[in-house]
Structure 1
Amino acid sequence: MTTTDFTTEGSVRALPGSAVTSRARLWAAILAGVVGPEVFIVQPAVVQGFVRYLGFDEASAGYAASVEVWGLAFSTICLSFVAHRLNWRAVMVWSVLMMAAGNAGSAFVTGHNLFLLLRFLVGVGAGGLVSLSFAAVGLTSNPDRNFGYLIMWVLVYGAAGLWAVPTVYAVGGLKLLLYLFAVFPLTVLPFVRHLPEGGETAAAIDADAVELSGGMKLLALMAMLLYFCAQGVVWAYLFLMGTADGLPEQQVANALTVSQFAGVLGALFAGMAGARIGRLSALTLGMLGGSLCLLLLVGKTSYPTFGVVVCVYNFFWNMTHPTLLSAMAGFDRRGRVVLGATAMQMIGLAIGPALAAAVIPEGGYAHVIWVGVGLFVLSWMSIGLPVLRHAALLRRPN
């Protein structure tokens, strides 16, 4: 049997595998990539629901949310080691069922420990969808464009979800939201057949994919870890940075809401123009431009300055994320580096807030900003060598 897939110019060619088109594969992967973090993307509203409807205090609600994130990190880490031995479609189906069962069960249980176990189960399922959807997009012919589209749709879902949650609460409370979280993953099931069965049987279609050395791959994965550790350091405390400077909560919330739309534009820019300006240039602009603007928040800031900084930061963050993923997709031809990068992303997001909390007593939010900027710069330095090596291999005559 054969599978058809797009070349960079959009034509179709035959490849080994099951008979599915690249367009169907891409949109199935994007759907799975949006469904996977369905709870994580609207986490602030979910935590509010835990407090309001389940009687959790703020600490307990935060812990319940973190359990889910650690479940997500756990499955992404495991899949980075064993995904090449598994049938990706089967993993997707089981991931969907875990998310559906965990969310539906969470609406009924009354015991605190059982509730936490179910949230962990949801996180494990979410990690399966996130990891394999990212890997599937990395095996398409134009990962720069396609990762941009994936991140863009995740952000669109996040903006729509945060807007809709208050209405959902007004109609049916937290139970209705959990039911919706249980149903949404089921939409992936009819399209699983379009996804590759595995990276080992679906050779990379990106013409720029080459096999880097183990050392270069490790350096690239370190860059991903540092980048999302920095992201976790900064993003977790960005709201509090604004209020600490005397800005009203509503002004801070408004600025962060607008920044979400700036993030959509950043992801769209990566999808449409990232490949044209080159990965190293795009990463340099995104990592350094997005982080250095944060230094404007070190001193006391005004509302216009805060609003501009968070919008610029979110634009560059969401431009850099798909560009990093597309670079990872070019470092091997079986999607393994993307799987590892997804695991590094989740670990970094888990470590970042704790690292920020550790430096706050010493120097307040100024130290948080400096640590975040330092990690962003180290990440840029780490990714530079693999990207340059990748470009050199592409220039080498066959």
Structure 2
Amino acid sequence: MCTPDSISGKTVLVTAHVAGLIDMVALPLWIGALIQYYHYSPEQAGLTVTIFLFGALLASLLVAPRFNRLPKRLAAAGGYGVGALAFFLIGQQPLENSPPQLIVLFHGLGGLGVGCALSFAHGAMGRSANPHRLFGTAHFALGIFALAFLSLVPQAIQQVSPTMLFKIIAAGMFIASVMMVIGFPHVADDRPRSLSDRKYSQVKIPPAAWFIIGVVMCMQLNQAMVFSFVERVGADHGFGIAGVNAALIALGFVNLFPGGLAALLQKRLSPIIVGVAGPLGQAILAMIIFNSRHYLPYAVAASLFVAMAIFTHVFLFGLLAQLDISGRAVAATPAMLMVGSCIGPALGGSIVQGIGYSGLGWAACMITGIAILSILLVRHYMLRATITASATPHTLTESIIE
């Protein structure tokens, strides 16, 4: 039987992860294409992409609590099918005088489909034997895809047509949809065997898990806000198309490593320490990206920026799967990602238009402060739960329920 721990099941889930998080790879080209070729303002471009991300957020919020009650294979395959259709239709629109309302509509439709499908993929990952390792492997695959995508797609945009960006995204989602139909893994009942029906119905998501969700949302907000304008700030600072593309290719190469490295270091690093270092690193790199007038610091910081979030999120995903025994929080991973992602491009566009690129660096620092406070609260609640569990004959699970 195909399960989340079988080779075929892992392959399908990893493919779904890559297709569903394509915005993490495509954002700079996506925003750049809307500004350069569709003649959108930075604010309009950011808002358009935000519509896609908001659709994904909404879909995930609706389906994640129903993960165990909906037909998983049908929902995952149908979601990616809707996403593929939406992006194909965007790619069919003319560059000149394309109706913006139609572009926005297709973005929203695509987001709904992707959010639905990705929720089921991440929910299935959370039911695997080692969610940390599987999530890290999925991010490693996303890094391989990013390297190919950022190496080839800019050339396709310049040599063929800017609409190739959306057609390539559509093709990736179509492949994911077909794979969901063929081999979406069977997910067993998510109830731990030690819990009776009564106790299982009383399980609450512990406070520490909610603060982990907050950290993920803050980091994703920083990533979407900053990464959306990595390509534009490089061009506007005079680094040239070749220089900016080289930085993006380096970014894709660097992204090969954080997922696999996080999986290997699962037992060697504390998720709390990683949870503090990740947001702090984001803030430092953002300041360099938007304030450096020299190419080398810009290129190095840009190439490392996404890797910082990937490495940190693998640890937080594993910790969240461990803390939330019901599995609901893990299934809502797309929602946490998309809360930050859907705000980031629009917020970033408004800041650039009103203050300039340097404002993005300072905004990233403020968001980082919130993330670090949240991870410190995670540590506080975990320590308190451990003390409570050791002081009573109940298990940790029972202390969470009570």
Q: TM-score, structure 1 length as denominator?
A: 0.78
Mapping of residues 1-398 of structure 1, within 5 Å? 20=3, 22-24=5-7, 25-38=9-22, 41-45=25-29, 56-59=38-41, 65-104=49-88, 112=99, 113=101, 116-165=104-153, 174=164, 177=168, 180-181=171-172, 183-185=174-176, 186-192=178-184, 194-196=185-187, 201-203=189-191, 214-297=206-289, 299-360=291-352, 363-387=355-379, 389-390=381-382, 393=385, 396=389, 398=395
**What letter is aligned with 1:27?**
T
Once the two structures are TM-superposed, the CA of residue 72 in structure 1 deviates from its matched residue by 1.7
Per the alignment, in what secondary structure is the counterpart of residue 22 of structure 1? coil
CA contact (8 A) 1:328 1:337 kept: yes
Paired letter, 1:319: F
Whole-Å separation in 1 of the counterparts to 2:282 and 2:167 = 38
Q: 2: distance between equivalents of 1:330 and 1:149?
A: 18
1:195–1:261 CA distance, 2 compared to 1 (3 A): farther
Query: How far did residue 243 of structure 1 move?
Result: 4.4
Check the 8 A contact 2:28/2:227 in 1, yes or no. Answer: no
The offset of 1:93, in angstroms, is 2.9
The 3 A distance-change label for structure 1 pair 106 and 243 is: closer
CA distance in 1, matches of 2:260, 2:77: 29
- Per the alignment, do residues 139 and 233 of structure 1 end up closer, same or farther by CA in structure 2, a change over 3 Å counting? same
* SS state at 1:274 partner: coil
What stretches of structure 1 of length at least 5 have no aligned partner?
1-17, 206-210
Q: Is the partner of 2:356 in helix, strand or coil? A: helix
Q: Could you tell me whether the CA contact under 8 Å between 1:96 and 1:189 is conserved in 2? A: no
TM-score normalised by the chain length of structure 2: 0.77
Contact 2:281–2:308 under 8 Å retained in 1 = yes
Shift in CA distance, 127/48, structure 1 to aligned 2, threshold 3 Å: same
Q: After alignment, is 89-98 or 63-72 more displaced?
A: 63-72
Tell me how far apart the structure 2 counterparts of residues 362 and 165 of structure 1 sit (CA, whole Å): 31
Aligned residue-pair number: 370
Specify the SS of the correspondent of 2:129. coil
Deviation at 1:187, TM superposition (A): 2.5
**What residue is the counterpart of 2:200 in the other structure?**
none
Higher deviation after alignment, 236-245 or 166-175: 166-175
Query: What percentage of residue pairs aligned between the two structures are identical?
Result: 18
How far does residue 238 in structure 1 lie from its aligned partner after superposition?
Answer: 2.8
Secondary structure (helix, strand or coil) at the match of 1:348 reads helix
Q: What is the rounded CA distance, in whole Å, between the counterparts of 2:310 and 2:382 in structure 1?
A: 23
CA distance in 2, matches of 1:345, 1:267: 16
Q: Structure 1 pair 391/312, CA: closer, same or farther in 2 (3 Å)?
A: farther
Distance in 1, matches of 2:284 and 2:240, equals 25
- Could you say if the C-alpha distance between residues 294 and 130 of structure 1 is closer, same or farther in structure 2, counting changes exceeding 3 Å? same
> Which amino acid in structure 1 is aligned with residue 128 of structure 2?
T
